[in-house]
Amino acid sequence: MERTSGTDEQAVATDTAHSDVLLSDGTTAQIRPLTPADIPAVEEFHGRLSPGSIQLRYFSAHPRLSSHELERLTRNGDPDHLALVAERQGKFIAIAQYDRPVGRAEAEVAFVVDDDHQGLGLGTILFEYLASAARRHGIKRFVADTLLVNKRMLDVFAAVGFARRTSRDRDVVSVVLDIAPSQQALDAADHRDAVAVVRSMEPLLRPRSVAVIGASRHPGTIGYELVRNLVGSGLQGPVYPVNPNATHVAAIPCWPSIDAVPERVDLAVVAVPAAMVADTVEACGRRGVGALVVVSAGFAEAGPEGREAQHAAVRSAHDHSMRMVGPNCFGVLNTDPAVSMNATFAADVPIAGRVGFGSQSGGLGIAILAEAKGRDLGLSSFVSLGNKADISGNDLLTWWEQDDDTDVILLYLESFGNARKFARLARRIGATKPIVVVKSGRSRAGRRAASSHTAALASPEQAVDALFRKAGVVRVDTVEELFDTAETLVHQPLPAGRRVAVLTNSGGPGVLAADASSGNGLVVAELSAATQAALREITPTAGGVGNPVDLGASASAESYRLSLEVLLADDEVDAVVVVFTPPLVTATDDVARAIVAAADAASPERPRPIVASLLGTRSGHDILAGARRPIPSFTYPETAIRALAHAADYATWRSKDPGTVPDLDRIDVGEARRRLVGVADDDGWVTGDAALDVLAAFGIPVQPTVRVGNAEEAGEAAARMGFPVVIKAVGPGIVHKSDIGGVRLDLTTVAAVQDAYRAMRDGIGPEMTGVVVQPMAEPGVETLVGFVQDRAFGPQVLFGLGGVAVEVLEDHVMRLAPLTDVDAREMVEGIKGAPMLTGYRGSEPVDVGGLVDLLLRVGRLAEDFPELVEMDANPVIATSSGVVVVDARLRLSSEPPPPPDDTRHLG
Ligand code: ADP
Ligand code: MG
């Protein structure tokens, strides 16, 4: 499953299709809505429940469900009712439902989990799915009456993280939960998800026994190298080669089938031909194998049939609660001495260290392991993701978050599965462990012919950048840069600021380093007089001590040491770049030793990162690597500085307040939904008063707007609202009104309004079915607020200067929803024309707070209505006293909406 299927499944999970979920013990279950065909299974399930469970659910003995109850339970498809079942291997293990009594805003919720599957978080997961679906039907609260003794149920209500009120009447507790999406609920869900993901990955990355299915006796084959690497890495547990035609592989006894293996197998590495994978997975499942790495190729990468087969393999794996890496991958490894597993067929094995590495490309992955070894960059674990049918980059992030052996996370990604989950995870994990990503390939996310300005201005590449910026991910362009950055991050402290000192023995490279610094956003500031004096004393002949500090061609190793000590003690220096070109007089190794001495002697109070560039020499690198904190050394200064700049960017992100996604009042999702019924034209466009009504339901200030069908009514409406007014053409297909003479501003009399109407009607023709009449807004700054839905990334929200000159100005900022208060403010203040809003040359500032609030609401609208695929509010007129939308267009899609982000799902 490339994530298209993951996202598709998730999209419909709460309404029609099924979804795989992880329980807290790491096992899997499937969730789907009940259908009438399920009646016998529901009866069977109810029959299996213990009297105690039935009592808690129905407050009575209730041994049998009535035909009415059965019919009601399994009749899904109306917005007031949903019943979900959780099943495992076709057997029902839990049922949950909500029902909204006619005309009420809240729905009653109830669920029952069978006696064997309690305590695994199923109730909570089902609750989340119900809440997600209910929310989309405008339901705001769930209510439940629960027996006081039903501790589990009460625990679920507490655990989901929604605001709740409880009241008690004798032994019945009534709970009311506000199911509006809240940060707290999302955090609680993410936390539970992380626990389950890590559990599910234990057998994969910390197995106590490993089988190789498709083991081979022939050196050079994948089936042989896997066994040899597993044995050679000293796995702390047995290795079981499986091959019906061999008695031994690499001197280890071989088993004819997975069924024949005598002990429990935590991890099975599958290297059989693609056609045999399905049966192998099934056999592993029956045998109770814990997890799978499928090396075999010939799946999604090979075409539609392969995609089908891959999908089936995952289904079967999940049916048996096995997570799966691959297919089409080259294995996993974990260097922790307590595990010591190399389940790859790569020839080069890296040393143990503190970097976690995940690669989507197999071929590149092999090169990566070789490179890591060559650079002495130690890895904690490595996962070749292959086709990412199940285990994804998101799972790896979750694993490394809790892995004490991992400090820095590296990912080579070609595509995102659940990009929105990635954003949330990366943001959380990035706060303690840097995440560096090479994102290759241009996203092909289906772009539509763009009709809104917003859609025209947004691009998938911008979305990736926005995603990474939001999440604090360090984005690099090449694998080389990935390693350079990783070496710096894993070995050196983070810089406290962006000020660097350049220490060199030659002018040219010093200037190169200084230029590269400014080019990468670092600051090469003049050093203080005291520091300069101290440096001058060390090297009276120095070419310059301002910064770069040029010690001159005759600089000794000792002068490097002393100068570096001075720089490392300077409060105005956040990082040092040491550049060395070997002249005839000084040996590189001596200088390297001097640098190490100074670095090791530096005060640990305020550690500063050091990176080095050793030009025109191969020696010295090993010595620098021997420092207490190994000093990354590169050939060119630009390389060293780029790595340092990435570290500085990360440090800046980490120290910044991300803000919070505020709870917004005056949002009426149900009202907005009603306003969207029957108002779109054939292309899905909603314009005029209808578009403004939708915005108003989200608490967004809009200009009063009246729609009329002829000149007389237009005159009357104008007279009622007061002059001056504006009239604007409406009609199917009319989207850009000014372009066709469909906007007349500043009309001051009834007669002028009527004339303008008639002239407009004559000009545009019969597709004009009427106009909207609006009072003229106060003059102000015209801005644009909009969004476009990206299937992978969710809503991209845009802010810029607006009016009729949007394309000309091209001054805009784009961020991904959900927006925090800080995001929204940065957007407003981040455009080039920001001074027009915040005040310049004595002009009064506009209501920036109002714009921020409007952006937050627009972001929420985009999140709550994924079927609204694009939207422009243009202009939003901002004045010192407020903001108001005078024109908006929305487009409703008939395609299935992209996924909601509030239910959990594997991947
Ligand atoms: P369109 O974008 O379809 O051309 P708009 O409704 O945005 O139509 O109108 C075009 C321009 O007219 C706006 O950019 C704005 O400058 C001006 N305008 C529209 N409505 C008003 C209003 N109520 N008050 C003041 N100016 C308006
Ligand atoms: Mg407009």
488 closest CA partner among 646, 367, 605, 654: 646
Query: Would the pLDDT of 897 be above 80?
Result: no
Higher-pLDDT residue of 291 and 184 is 291
Ligand 1 pocket, residue 737 CB under 6 Å: yes
Q: Is 658 helix (H, G, I), strand (E, B) or coil?
A: coil
Residue closest via CA to ligand 1's atom 14 equals 803
How far does the centroid of ligand 2 lie from the alpha carbon of residue 438, in Å?
Answer: 39
User: Among 252-256, 419-423, 883-887, whose mean pLDDT is lowest?
Assistant: 419-423
Q: Give the model's confidence band at 17: pLDDT under 50 very low, under 70 low, under 90 confident, else very high.
A: low
Instruction: Tell me the ligand closest to 724's alpha carbon.
Output: 1
Which pLDDT belongs to residue 906? Answer: 53
Query: Would the pLDDT of 402 be above 90?
Result: yes
- What is the DSSP secondary-structure string of 705-759? -EEESSHHHHHHHHHHH-SSEEEEEE-TT---TGGGT-EEEEE-SHHHHHHHHHH
Q: What value does the mean pLDDT take over residues 431-453? A: 68
Residue closest via CA to ligand 1's atom 20 equals 886
Highest mean pLDDT among 188-197, 220-229, 540-549: 220-229
Q: What value does the mean pLDDT take over residues 209-220? A: 96
Query: Would the pLDDT of 470 be above 50?
Result: yes
How far does the centroid of ligand 1 lie from the alpha carbon of residue 856, in Å?
Answer: 23
Q: What value does the mean pLDDT take over residues 293-304? A: 94
Ligand 1 pocket, residue 782 CB under 6 Å: yes
Instruction: Tell me the ligand closest to 688's alpha carbon.
Output: 1
Ligand 1 pocket, residue 738 CB under 6 Å: yes
User: Among 6-10, 314-318, 351-355, 780-784, whose mean pLDDT is lowest?
Assistant: 6-10
Q: Is beta strand 141-147 parallel, antiparallel or unpaired with respect to 172-178?
A: antiparallel
How far does the centroid of ligand 2 lie from the alpha carbon of residue 870, in Å?
Answer: 14
Ligand 1 pocket, residue 729 CB under 6 Å: no
Tokens of 566: 């001075």
Query: Would the pLDDT of 513 be above 90?
Result: yes
How far does the centroid of ligand 2 lie from the alpha carbon of residue 400, in Å?
Answer: 48
Query: Would the pLDDT of 446 be above 80?
Result: no
Distance of alpha carbon 851 from alpha carbon 197, whole angstroms: 40
Highest mean pLDDT among 412-421, 471-480, 483-492: 483-492
Query: Would the pLDDT of 13 be above 80?
Result: no
Which pLDDT belongs to residue 125? Answer: 93
Atom of ligand 1 nearest to the CA of 887: 6
Ligand 1 pocket, residue 715 CB under 6 Å: no
Torsion of CA 263, 265, 266, 270, to 10 degrees: 170
Q: Give the model's confidence band at 588: pLDDT under 50 very low, under 70 low, under 90 confident, else very high.
A: very high
Exposed, middle or buried by CB within 10 Å (0-12, 13-18, 19+), for 833? middle
> Terminal CA-to-CA distance of the chain, rounded, Å?
10
* Mean pLDDT score of the chain: 91
Q: Give the model's confidence band at 808: pLDDT under 50 very low, under 70 low, under 90 confident, else very high.
A: confident
187 closest CA partner among 430, 427, 464, 433: 427
Query: Would the pLDDT of 590 be above 50?
Result: yes
Q: Give the model's confidence band at 902: pLDDT under 50 very low, under 70 low, under 90 confident, else very high.
A: very low
Counting Cα atoms < 13 Å in the Cβ hemisphere of 615 gives 20
Ligand 1 pocket, residue 886 CB under 6 Å: yes
Q: How many residues does the chain have?
A: 907
Counting Cα atoms < 13 Å in the Cβ hemisphere of 118 gives 15
Which pLDDT belongs to residue 892? Answer: 95
How far does the centroid of ligand 1 lie from the alpha carbon of residue 786, in Å?
Answer: 16
Which pLDDT belongs to residue 586? Answer: 76
Ligand 1 pocket, residue 777 CB under 6 Å: yes
Which pLDDT belongs to residue 5? Answer: 30
Instruction: Tell me the ligand closest to 689's alpha carbon.
Output: 1
Query: Would the pLDDT of 430 be above 80?
Result: yes
Which pLDDT belongs to residue 46? Answer: 95
Ligand 1 pocket, residue 726 CB under 6 Å: yes
- What is the DSSP secondary-structure string of 185-246? HHHHHHHHHHHHHHHHHHHHHS-S-EEEET--SSTTSHHHHHHHHHHHTT-SS-EEEE-TT-
Ligand 1 pocket, residue 776 CB under 6 Å: yes
Ligand 1 pocket, residue 887 CB under 6 Å: yes
User: Per residue in 824-850, pLDDT tens?
Assistant: 999 999 999 999 999 888 888 999 999
Share of the chain above pLDDT 90, in %: 76
How far does the centroid of ligand 1 lie from the alpha carbon of residue 739, in Å?
Answer: 12
How far does the centroid of ligand 1 lie from the alpha carbon of residue 886, in Å?
Answer: 6
Residue closest via CA to ligand 1's atom 5 equals 887
Ligand 1 pocket, residue 743 CB under 6 Å: yes
User: Per residue in 201-213, pLDDT tens?
Assistant: 999 999 999 999 9
Query: Would the pLDDT of 772 be above 50?
Result: yes
Ligand 1 pocket, residue 906 CB under 6 Å: no
Q: What value does the mean pLDDT take over residues 563-591? A: 92
Higher-pLDDT residue of 857 and 903 is 857
Q: What value does the mean pLDDT take over residues 749-770? A: 97
Is the distance from CB of 554 to CB of 678 less than 8 angstroms?
no
Query: Would the pLDDT of 16 be above 80?
Result: no
Atom of ligand 1 nearest to the CA of 736: 3
Ligand 1 pocket, residue 745 CB under 6 Å: yes
How far does the centroid of ligand 1 lie from the alpha carbon of residue 682, in Å?
Answer: 24
Q: What value does the mean pLDDT take over residues 341-370? A: 90
Q: Give the model's confidence band at 445: pLDDT under 50 very low, under 70 low, under 90 confident, else very high.
A: very low
Query: Would the pLDDT of 6 be above 60?
Result: no
How far does the centroid of ligand 1 lie from the alpha carbon of residue 764, in Å?
Answer: 17
Is the distance from CB of 608 to CB of 495 less than 8 angstroms?
yes
Backbone conformation region of residue 496, classed left if phi is above 0, alpha if psi is from -120 to 50, else beta: alpha
Ligand 1 pocket, residue 703 CB under 6 Å: yes
Q: What value does the mean pLDDT take over residues 601-609? A: 93
Ligand 1 pocket, residue 804 CB under 6 Å: yes
- What is the DSSP secondary-structure string of 29-40? EEEEE--GGGHH
Q: What value does the mean pLDDT take over residues 228-250? A: 95
H or E segment and range at residue 81: strand 81-88
How far does the centroid of ligand 2 lie from the alpha carbon of residue 742, in Å?
Answer: 11
Which pLDDT belongs to residue 810? Answer: 76
Atom of ligand 1 nearest to the CA of 777: 24
Q: Ligand 1 pocket test: pick from 452, 705, 706, 745 the residue with the most ligand atoms within 8 Å of its Cβ.
A: 745
pTM of the model: 0.86
Q: What value does the mean pLDDT take over residues 268-287? A: 97
Instruction: Tell me the ligand closest to 877's alpha carbon.
Output: 1
Ligand 1 pocket, residue 728 CB under 6 Å: yes
Atom of ligand 1 nearest to the CA of 739: 4
CB neighbours of residue 842 within 10 Å: 5
Task: Tell me how many degrees the CA angle 513-516-519 measures, rounded to the nearest 5.
Answer: 155
Which pLDDT belongs to residue 222? Answer: 96
Ligand 1 pocket, residue 736 CB under 6 Å: yes
Indicate if the alpha-carbon torsion angle 184, 186, 192, 194 is positive or negative.
Answer: negative
Q: What value does the mean pLDDT take over residues 676-699? A: 96
How far does the centroid of ligand 1 lie from the alpha carbon of residue 394, in Å?
Answer: 45
Share of the chain above pLDDT 70, in %: 95
Match 């890590």 to its residue by tokens: 198
User: Per residue in 454-469, pLDDT tens?
Assistant: 777 777 778 888 889 8
Instruction: Tell me the ligand closest to 804's alpha carbon.
Output: 1
607 closest CA partner among 490, 526, 492: 492
Ligand 1 pocket, residue 774 CB under 6 Å: yes
Residue closest via CA to ligand 1's atom 13 equals 803
Q: Give the model's confidence band at 9: pLDDT under 50 very low, under 70 low, under 90 confident, else very high.
A: very low
Q: Give the model's confidence band at 448: pLDDT under 50 very low, under 70 low, under 90 confident, else very high.
A: very low
Residue closest via CA to ligand 1's atom 22 equals 776
Is the distance from CB of 732 to CB of 767 less than 8 angstroms?
yes
